[in-house]
Amino acid sequence: MTDHELRDLLAERVSDVAVPDLSGRAWERAGRIRRRRATGVVVGAVASVAVVAAALAGVPGVNRSDGPGPGPATHQPAPTGPSGPGDPGRTAPWPGSGATRPDGRYRGLPVYRGPLVSQEATLPGVDSPFPATVDLSAPAPDLADQPIREALAAYVLTDAGGGRRLLLLAPDGSLRSVDTAAVAAYDDGSGQDVSVAHESLLSPTGEYLAFPQAAGEVRVLTLATGEWRTVHTGSDRTATLHWMGDTDLWLPPTTQGGPGPMYSVLDGTRSGATNLQAPAGPFGAGAAPYGRWRMGPGGTAQSWAGVTGLPGPAGEATPAQVLLVQGDPPAPDALLVLGASAAQPRPARCCDVDFWLDDRTVVYESGAAPRRLVAWRVGTHALGVVTRIVGYDPSRVSLVSSYARVWDR
């Protein structure tokens, strides 16, 4: 089974999920149905999945500087005892084995308390393809002068006047700049230019950049050759584009999915259509997903805001922001509460899900300065920092990031 086929298999399993009733009982029932369906799908492909699982076992996902370990070091907020003024019910994280006992349950989901922003700064480093620090002020020669075949990440810096700068992070940790003069601005109706600054800019393999345009087209840049190509999409909306597989663009009606066509970036032709939906959460009125939902070897992850009714200590900020993981069986469903308090609030839409690091670890981007990529070993109290992003002034420019697939590297 190829990576593309595995990704399609995961997508098919996600597409079967429907939770029209957002009560806890409906969520639990949907979970049982999903597991029965997924079992039927997997039976015919168990041998191939076993091979992929064996390969995933060798993917770096933990800090091995002190020998092998079970995952990023534990963060386990204590039930009592303040860590500082205004932060009741929390202590600093401490090393451990990544205990799996949840801090509570919410409508059938195990709930884990995540770190406050200040505690994220004390989390240990996590082994990954990324450098410990990404400095966006470092030298960045033009891609045309020093081409690279692929990138790990793309960073778009936009100032108040509409000026923009696109930087690529190469696998060796160096930067490249990309001339986007060939890309026209595109306001998707939100007042924001999404032609360059969007989360699906970089392809899963890191070989292509996709720029939605208003005139029924997507501009595509191949990094290795510097070749530009135009994918003509007619009346299909391009602002919500997602990557499907390695080289197909999917154009759903919203960022949360729906029926839409697919186009190949290799030759610009229409390659099919699909109808996928982001997982619906068990949350009540007022809760809403944000950012892109990320499929990976352990399931599908999505960030949510406006969640109320969560179990937690006094002083916890509410409504809360959370990270919801819908596991592909046998992986579990789980909920990470993104720690916040009156003394340490988080920015609105603080923590987009960026990617899966391995088959058990999902990575979110903490929006507080300095930005950090924080890895969570799903279903445990284990968290760690993948990298810090520095070298820009968040009071003067906004930053939008896009990442390649790293879990199979």
- In this structure, the answer to whether residues 345 and 261 fall within a common structural domain is no
- pLDDT per residue as tens, the chain (409 positions): 444 444 444 444 333 333 333 334 444 444 544 444 333 333 333 333 333 333 333 333 333 222 223 333 333 333 322 233 333 333 334 344 467 899 999 999 999 999 999 999 999 999 999 999 999 999 999 999 999 999 999 999 999 888 999 999 999 999 999 999 999 999 988 888 999 999 999 999 999 999 999 989 999 999 999 999 999 999 998 999 999 999 999 999 998 999 999 999 999 999 999 999 998 889 988 999 999 999 999 999 999 999 999 987 776 778 999 999 999 998 889 999 999 988 899 999 999 999 999 999 999 999 988 999 999 999 999 999 999 999 999 999 999 999 999 999 8
Would you call 138 helix, strand, or coil by DSSP? coil
How many residues are listed for the chain in this entry? 409
The answer to whether residue 403 is domain-embedded is: no
CA-wise closest residue to 126 among 382, 337, 404, 405: 382
How many structural domains are present in the chain?
A: 2
- In this structure, the answer to whether residues 249 and 154 fall within a common structural domain is yes
Q: Range of 57's domain?
A: 3-131+283-395
Q: What is the pTM of this model?
A: 0.78
- In this structure, the answer to whether residues 227 and 113 fall within a common structural domain is no
The distance in angstroms from the start CA to the end CA of the chain is 16
* Sheet hosting strand 133-135, strand order edge to edge: 133-135, 383-390, 371-377, 361-366, 351-356
Taking the C-alpha atoms of residue 64 and residue 72, their distance in angstroms, rounded to an integer, is 10
The answer to whether residue 206 is domain-embedded is: yes
- In this structure, the answer to whether residues 208 and 242 fall within a common structural domain is yes
- In this structure, the answer to whether residues 296 and 225 fall within a common structural domain is no
